[in-house]
Amino acid sequence: MFERIDEFRWRIPKSYKQGMRVDGIIYADEAMLEDIRSDKAAEQVANVAFLPGIVRYSFGMPDLHWGYGAPIGGVGAFDSETGVLVPGFVGYDINCGIRLVKTNLTEKDVKPRIRDLVYALYNDVPAGVGSKGDIKISASEERKLLVEGSKWVVERGYGNHDDLEYTEEHGAIKGANPDAVSPRAYERGKNQSGTLGSGNHFMEVQVVDEIFDKDAASVFDLAVGQVVLMIHSGSRGLGYQVCDDYTRDMIGCLSKYNISVPDRQLACAPVNSKEAQNYLGAMRCAANYAWANRQCLMHLARGVFEKVFQMSPKDLGMDLIYDVAHNIAKLEKYTIDGKEKTLCVHRKGATRAFPPGHPEIPQKYQKTGQPVIIPGDMGRNSYLLTGTKKAEETFYSTCHGAGRLMSRSAAIRACRGRSISRELEDKGIIVKSSGRETLAEEAPEAYKDVNEVVRIVEGAGISKRVARMRPIGVIKG
């Protein structure tokens, strides 16, 4: 199945399955490839290669693992005129994403108060399945939020306009269509603004423990020993419902548009069709909801830090470094065979990684490239990377995290009889969650080693390391 290209890339030739239109390319070393072999994700990389209009390759990042229809850790670009839009290749948690916030605090400042900080964050930031936030909005206001995203909540006092500058798409992707969102999705989303959610969503207090690129780190205002905050959340019930609505509705598009797929979970429609445009409008609404949600979460966290450390916002210096989406489809321009084309780039469990000089990243980051935020498991560490020019080969995409090794149910079985919170505390990490089962699902051994994942994407040249952070406090949904 796999043909070795070089140390960090492997090919699934299109001859592997009749009907593949392009090869699959997986970024991994030999050890990581063994983990991938034990999962069905590589088959899903091959399945994506069947889709009409796919350009170059079907990609799998080193954090690759099985997902709904398309793999998590998958990237694919489709010609906007001949290709398709695939809800299952965006996923159920639309714009599940991550933001990194710096502080002026050091580990010496925070460590004596870390338990107080973690418990205060847990108390003040709603978390868990079905958690409801303090931000109550009417139906008409919700429609505005879905169009305006982060800007809507900033204008109501949840942060400042500088936050928008350092959010992908300035926190609101254009073309959102509230009319394409179902009543059920509205109902699920109206009380969840400013809520963390469950599963792998988290808020993590971290310490910068190594700098790899001093020049880039100085641009990001980061130094060894400095405390940062990482926030991981998405579009909650609203985004889930949007995906559910459209994956079901698009099954009928397969026969309507004479599209053949090896898995009905890859149900899709031509990019320019009415069905795909409706999904795109709804997906953008969910993406904007997620950016607004993370903006609210950051605002709530800033308030907790100010309260615990009795510091003014200016002295605390909790500035947003960047916010990036992990699950999204976007129309982007690329040069293909000497011609500029608009492609519909699907990133599912993958991070956009624009290079230095790209016009869509903030002026401050023009020399460094786009910040790429890679969370690890709650027992190891996380990374800040930057995008590179070589990442053009993956449509400026890279990994998004460690990637699961175990299913949630397998992780729960493996952790039976153990106290994950005690094990983490023994490592100097204070954790608070809505339940013991959540911690078992998210146990460190349930994930690949993020250090290896990052080593591979840097070795392949599609990302560059800037800093490594280790957790000292974790809040789980």
What Cα–Cα distance (Å) separates residue 150 from each residue in 92, 273, 288? 21, 29, 7
- Could you list the beta-strand ranges (E) of 266-389: 269-270, 320-325, 327-336, 339-348, 351-352, 371-374, 382-386
pLDDT number for residue 379: 85
- Exposure string over 71-94, b if 16+ CB within 10 A, otherwise e: bbbbbbbbbbeebbbbbbbbbbbb
DSSP state, residue 190: T
Can you tell me the distance from the alpha carbon of 56 to that of 24, in angstroms, rounded to the nearest whole number?
9
pLDDT number for residue 127: 55
Residues labelled catalytic: 400
Cα atoms in the Cβ-side hemisphere of radius 13 Å centred on 136: 1
Of 101, 96, 95, give the one whose Cα is nearest residue 159.
101
Between helix 450-459 and helix 30-37 the angle, nearest 10°, is 120
Strand partners, 431: 474
Cα atoms in the Cβ-side hemisphere of radius 13 Å centred on 158: 22
Would you say 131 and 253 are in contact if contact means Cβ atoms under 8 Å apart? Answer: no
Of 98, 137, 130, give the one whose Cα is nearest residue 228.
98
Of 376, 382, 347, give the one whose Cα is nearest residue 200.
376
pLDDT number for residue 415: 78
**In the numeric block, which tokens belong to residue 175?**
């073309």
Can you tell me the distance from the alpha carbon of 114 to that of 263, in angstroms, rounded to the nearest whole number?
47
Cα atoms in the Cβ-side hemisphere of radius 13 Å centred on 19: 11
Over the stretch 150-206, which tens digit does the pLDDT of each residue have? Answer: 999 899 889 999 999 999 999 999 999 999 999 998 888 776 656 666 556 889 999
Looking at residue 452, its amino acid is: E
**In the numeric block, which tokens belong to residue 295?**
């903006």
Q: How many angstroms from the chain centroid is the CA of residue 433?
A: 21
Would you say 236 and 291 are in contact if contact means Cβ atoms under 8 Å apart? Answer: no
Mapping DSSP onto H, E and C, the string for 80-95 reads CCCCEECHHHCCCCCC
pLDDT number for residue 192: 64
pLDDT number for residue 59: 98
Phi/psi at 116 (nearest 5 deg)? -60, -40
DSSP state, residue 387: -
Cα atoms in the Cβ-side hemisphere of radius 13 Å centred on 301: 31
pLDDT number for residue 136: 65
Of 404, 398, 406, give the one whose Cα is nearest residue 455.
398
Q: Which residues of the chain register pLDDT less than 50?
A: 128-130
pLDDT number for residue 39: 85
Can you tell me the distance from the alpha carbon of 47 to that of 329, in angstroms, rounded to the nearest whole number?
18
Q: Spell out the long-range contacts of 353-359 with Cβ–Cβ below 8 A and sequence spacing 24 or more.
A: 353/385, 353/386, 353/387, 353/388, 353/391, 353/394, 353/396, 353/397, 353/398, 353/462, 353/463, 354/387, 354/396, 355/387, 355/388, 355/389, 355/391, 355/392, 355/396, 356/386, 356/387, 356/389, 358/387, 358/396
pLDDT number for residue 129: 39
Q: How many angstroms from the chain centroid is the CA of residue 298?
A: 16
Judged by DSSP in three states, 28 sits in coil
Domains observed in the chain: 3-476 (3.90.1860.10)
pLDDT number for residue 311: 96
